[in-house]
Structure 1
Amino acid sequence: MGGFHNLLVIHTIPQDQLDRVKKEFENVYYYPFPRDIPEEVLEAIDVIFVGRLGFSPCIKSLAELPKLWFVQAASTGLERIIPAVASISHKDVTHVHLANAAGGYVQTIPNFVISYITALLGLIPSQIYLQRTQKRWVHGDEVMADAGLKGSYVGKSIIGKTIGFLGYGTLGRESARLCSIFPKVRLIAANSDGKRKAEDGYVIDGTGDFDASLPAQMYSTNDPTSFEAFLKECDILVASLPHTKQTVGLLDSGKLSLMKPGGLFINVGRGSLIKSEHILESLDAPNGLYGAAIDVTDPEPLEDNHPLWSHPRLIITPHLSGEPENEMQTSIDILLTNTQRLVAGKDVLNKCSFETGY
């Protein structure tokens, strides 16, 4: 590949994908995390492909890699990658381009979002649990009792609900597109500045909301008044935010209480968005959440016997929503696309900042 010669792969990848990159670079050095990397390799590389576990311990600072020009992450989240440069001034790596693999995970995570919503509205987890454990046909009143609810069983409808997307990147956009198929739903979204932005990252054809036209209104998380107004509109809140200084603890039970009574909370971003006890408080509060579903937890992994495990209206999945069957192929697609763009004098897709973490 003209302009780039030496690729360091710090991630376990299948042989077919390793063969792909070997056709594009003069030299490919394969040292999956956490293997030590020879000094002569570190001095030669100009591109790094790094997995979600981050850089190998032998790499103390990217500023010490004299020829490094580009770092491509194989994941969307960068919280384990950024610490590799946390001890140095960010100005020392301003010449290094950084990109993540956002856009590839729309193949599965938004599907989980739809599954969570419909399962919670129908109290399907209680139905499955009762019949699997009791091995008999159960009745609606038993389902309600298992869910900790009173009254006769009715399946709630998504029709006419307001669905708010906290974070409107590739995951929020594709989740919104899928939710838009339901009749009379109202879609709204919140990002840091409350502005509609065209998608400028990697996009799989046919997915997403390129021009951010689906939300009826946009809100700002940086503006407390705007953020409060956003939450008050939500019947269903879908969070897909990354882990950054700004997103840690952004939600709590007080903010969830602003939602319409009997709402749903979905989190497919990072568990640091909200502490576990606040989710429990919101589920058990009068006029609180009807249900919640989380693919990420605080802490993660969630320890044994944590109270979250036993709540009947909470779905917990073990951070597997972002494991598409062709994940590595897509990540390598992004790597090769970005290196070609840099050689052509263009900026990378999914450009990220070492300073902000996204």
Structure 2
Amino acid sequence: MTGSDAEHVDRETDGGTDTAGEPHVLVLRRGTHGIPVEQYADAIRDRLPGGTVDLARTPTEEREAIRDARFVTGMTLDESLLEAAENLEVFACAYAGTGHLPLEALEERGVRVTNASGVHGPNIGEHVLGAILHFTRRFHVGARRQRRREWRHYQAHELHGSTVTIVGLGAIGRAVADRLEPFDVETIGVRYTPEKGGPTDEVVGFGDEPFHGALARTDYLVLACPLTETTRGLIGRDALTTIDPGAVLVNVARGPVVDTDALVEAIRSHQLRGASLDVTDPEPLPEDHPLWNFGNVQITPHNAGHTPKYYDRLADVVAENAERHATGGGEASLENQVLPR
């Protein structure tokens, strides 16, 4: 029997009651990025040597274990499972986004919710930098000529001296800005509260004038923002008309931040030099969608978030919050808390 198997919820525990201030965490069965969820449970366990970490591996185990659990973590929590949770106090979402959760029901029950904000900074920052360099040096053209066995030179670009606009200055946006620093580029950040400043050379808000003014100076546009009423359709026909035709769009945010029809139109009419899309609308992108067929569109299947260190970084946050909850209860300050608002 493996260490993970030995820690399943059939152990003799009190089902979630913290004793002597020791944390007790229930891990739900769904994993992510193709990495076994046992690794997540083990990572939390390593960080809580004095606590208890249970892993529910079947639907029945989840429903039984969550009944008395106070601190639960997982990728998702549907309403039917929430109804079975009689004593739930904290749900630690293992994703940065929480829009898929029954937030109203959680809020009504007074459950505190945290997310995985910050976990993706390094890997998505590297993904964005790779996408920018891909189009700067036009590796897609080189790859096409290699497939054809053509030894024929082509013109490339230089990142030095370019202007990169980063929409969203959360953990991912900051990671992108940090990784661009050695390249001697000008950076513009876009955020809801520009008066807070940020790691970029300049920070503007989402108002039409400042935002479009930034677009007009942009060589590389990086979308790293959450999907909200403000950002939905943010990059539509107006934005794609304003931006320079030599610019490149990199989207690691959410598909609907970009108007897909407007993007296809912009690519077809040479209003953009290229686009790197880790997210699309719709998603998954249908096999017959025109975006697949453009030589200057790079598509990755929502893969920027993958990193072999995902569970380790997530476990750092969750274990720390489990410790705080065990010792401070409902009064404890939790990292990455999104509920209550």
Normalising by the smaller structure, the TM-score range is 0.7 to 0.9
Rounded to whole Å, the distance in 1 between the matches of 2:165 and 2:266 is: 17
Offset at 1:351?
A: 2.1
Aligned to 2:280: 297
Structure-2 separation of matches of 1:30 and 1:37 = 5
1:242-272, CA deviations, whole angstroms, 9 ceiling, x for partnerless residues?
2334332222132122223311110011112
1:42 aligns with 2:66: yes
Q: What is aligned with 1:215?
A: 200
The 1:219–1:298 alpha-carbon spacing in structure 2 relative to 1, beyond 3 Å, is same
Q: Render the CA deviation track for 1:306-336: whole Å, top value 9, x for unaligned.
A: 1000111111111111111111121111110
Contact persistence 1:76–1:100 (CA under 8 A): yes
CA distance in structure 2 between the partners assigned to 1:311 and 1:47 by the alignment? 47
2:266 to 269, 282, 289: 282
Evaluate the alpha carbon distance shift between residue 346 and residue 229 of structure 1 in structure 2; reply closer, same or farther with a 3 A threshold. Answer: farther
Aligned sequence identity (%): 23
Change (3 A) 1:271 1:337: same
Partner of 2:162: 161
1:50/1:74 contact within 8 Å kept: yes
Instruction: Please identify runs of 4+ aligned residues in structure 1 that moved more than 6 A.
Output: none
Question: Could you say which residue in structure 2 is the equivalent of 1:55?
Answer: 77
2: distance between equivalents of 1:28 and 1:166?
39
1:41 shift after superposition = 2.9
More helix by share: 2
Q: How many angstroms does 1:305 deviate by?
A: 2.0
- Range that drifts further, 228-237 or 6-15: 6-15
CA RMSD between the two structures = 2.5
What is the TM-score when the length of structure 2 is the normalising length? 0.82
Query: Partner of 1:240 in structure 2?
Result: 224
Mean CA deviation greater in 264-273 or 231-240 = 231-240
Structure 1 residues 19, 91: closer, same or farther in 2, change over 3 A? closer
Q: Which of 329, 333, 336 is the equivalent residue of 1:350?
A: 336
Whether the 8 Å CA contact 2:25–2:322 is kept in 1: the answer is no
Q: Is the 8 A contact 1:85 1:354 kept in 2?
A: no
1:354 and 1:260, CA in 2 relative to 1: closer, same or farther beyond 3 A?
farther
For residues 19-47 of structure 1, give each alpha carbon's deviation from its aligned partner in whole angstroms, at most 9, with x where no partner exists: 45454544624146xx2456543330111
Deviations 1:62-111 (A, max 9, x none): xx63321111111212232x2x245x4x7514x32212112221221111
The runs of 5 or more residues in structure 2 that have no matched partner are 1-17
Paired with 2:201 and 2:62, the residues of 1 have a C-alpha distance of: 54
Residue 56 of structure 2 corresponds to which residue in structure 1?
Answer: 30
Residues 116 and 21 of structure 1, relative CA distance in 2, 3 Å threshold: closer
Q: In 1, distance between residues paired with 2:68 and 2:38?
A: 23
Distance 1:217 1:180 in 2: 14
Aligned to 2:95: 75
Separation in structure 2 between the aligned mates of residue 315 and residue 354 of structure 1, nearest angstrom: 39
TM-score (ref. length: structure 1): 0.79
Shift of residue 224, structure 1, vs aligned partner = 2.7
In structure 2, how many angstroms separate the alpha carbons of the residues matched to 1:293 and 1:320? Answer: 12
